[in-house]
Homo-oligomer: A and B are copies of this chain.
Amino acid sequence: MNLVECILRGESRAAARLISLIENAGSEAVAAMKALYPHTGRAYVIGVTGPPGTGKSTLVDQMVTQMRSMEKTVGVIAVDPTSPFTGGAILADRIRMQRHNTDAGVFIRSMATRGQLGGLSRAANDVVDVLDALGKDFIIIETVGVGQDEVDVVRTAHTTLVVTVPGLGDGIQAIKAGIMEIGDVFVVNKADRDGADQTILEIEMMLEQSDSDSGWRPRVFRTVASRNEGVEGLYRGILEHREFLGDQHAPRRNGKERSRWIFRGLLQDRMAAKAMERLTPDGLETLIDRIACREIDPYSAVEETLQKVGL
């Protein structure tokens, strides 16, 4: 398999091609992912999440520069919610990162949230594996931080950064929404703004109240990413967490939760697709119509389908 060999030799263009195949959910992608999989599990994966407007892209950009100065190679996956409206804005964000484009040690890819439920997070996970096999030391996944799907993406990272800014919404309400508990490291970006101390205090108070059973006490960092302030300290904070994880960073321990999640998601997708094939397009449409007309409830429709496919 040529594509796979090229990726294992570290060729970015081959990785880009495979990622496109993944996004289009082609069967070629599946074959390549199978071949690549034994060569994964070496990269250190960092999830970066937080509400829109917190400067995540700029922060990631600076983190990349920091990692490069330590001679580490980096892959960046930016998970951008898709919108017919946002093309321009997303492009503008990405352009900021173009200074890394001529650097073979950096691979940057934006992915849009489109398609089936759960489809994006699984595709993003495949891309993590591709960049891992490509030989990147660090892989950063950046995503807008609210929503189960987005949370699932970053949850499987080794270290998860939760980013906020002073004065966003009511205090830190914006980051409380379901992502507070997945943060290993907290970042108050744009910390030159009024209220930074207050925001840090609020996060620390929340952390006090939480009962983490991992033994890790999340740390809070202040950065002004646009001026590259505090980024080196943040990087050291990430390394500290990596050290804490220790053996857990080894593929086997760390990978178990992630493996379970990927397996189940993939199994769901495949099984539903197979069942729907067996129903035939007409049979499926009739069934959906009957649900919509309240002739049959969705639960009974599913039971009927399971019987038809012999499960």
What is the interface of chain A, defined by CB distance below 8 A to chain B? 30, 33-34, 37-38, 40-41, 51-54, 80-86, 89, 113, 117-118, 120-121, 144-152, 168-170, 173-174, 176-181, 206, 209-211, 251-252, 255-256, 258-272, 274-276, 287-289, 291-294, 297-303, 305-306, 309-311
State the CA gap A211–B264 with chains docked (Å): 37
Residues of B within 8 A of A305 (CB): 267
Residue of B at shortest CB range from A293? B252
In the assembled complex, 17 residue pairs joining A and B whose CB atoms fall closer than 8 Å, in A order, are A37-B294, A37-B297, A41-B294, A52-B146, A83-B177, A84-B211, A86-B177, A89-B173, A113-B178, A118-B148, A147-B147, A260-B288, A263-B291, A266-B299, A267-B302, A268-B269, A274-B306
State the CA gap A37–B179 with chains docked (Å): 34
- Contact between chains at A148 and B297 (CB < 8 Å): no
Question: In the assembled complex, how far is the CB of residue A305 from the closest CB belonging to chain B, in whole angstroms?
Answer: 6
Residue of B at shortest CB range from A301? B263
Residue of B at shortest CB range from A266? B302
- Contact between chains at A256 and B294 (CB < 8 Å): no
Residues of B within 8 A of A298 (CB): 37, 259, 262-263, 266
> In the complex, given contacts A38-B297, A89-B176, A117-B152, what are 11 additional A-B residue pairs having Cβ atoms less than 8 angstroms apart?
A41-B294, A84-B209, A84-B211, A85-B209, A85-B210, A86-B178, A117-B148, A117-B265, A252-B292, A267-B271, A271-B272
Q: How many copies does the complex hold?
A: 2
Residue of B at shortest CB range from A211? B84
Residue of B at shortest CB range from A125? B298
State the CA gap A101–B86 with chains docked (Å): 41
On whether A181 and B51 interact (CB within 8 A), knowing A41-B294, A251-B294, the answer reads: no
- Contact between chains at A52 and B177 (CB < 8 Å): yes
Among A82, A169, A301, A305, max chain B CB count under 10 A is at A169
Question: In the assembled complex, how far is the CB of residue A173 from the closest CB belonging to chain B, in whole angstroms?
Answer: 5
State the CA gap A34–B297 with chains docked (Å): 6
CB-contact partner of A300 in B34, B117, B118, B275, under 8 A: B34
State the CA gap A27–B259 with chains docked (Å): 28
Question: In the assembled complex, how far is the CB of residue A297 from the closest CB belonging to chain B, in whole angstroms?
Answer: 3
- Contact between chains at B259 and A264 (CB < 8 Å): no
Residues of B within 8 A of A267 (CB): 271-272, 275-276, 302, 305-306
Question: In the assembled complex, how far is the CB of residue A32 from the closest CB belonging to chain B, in whole angstroms?
Answer: 10
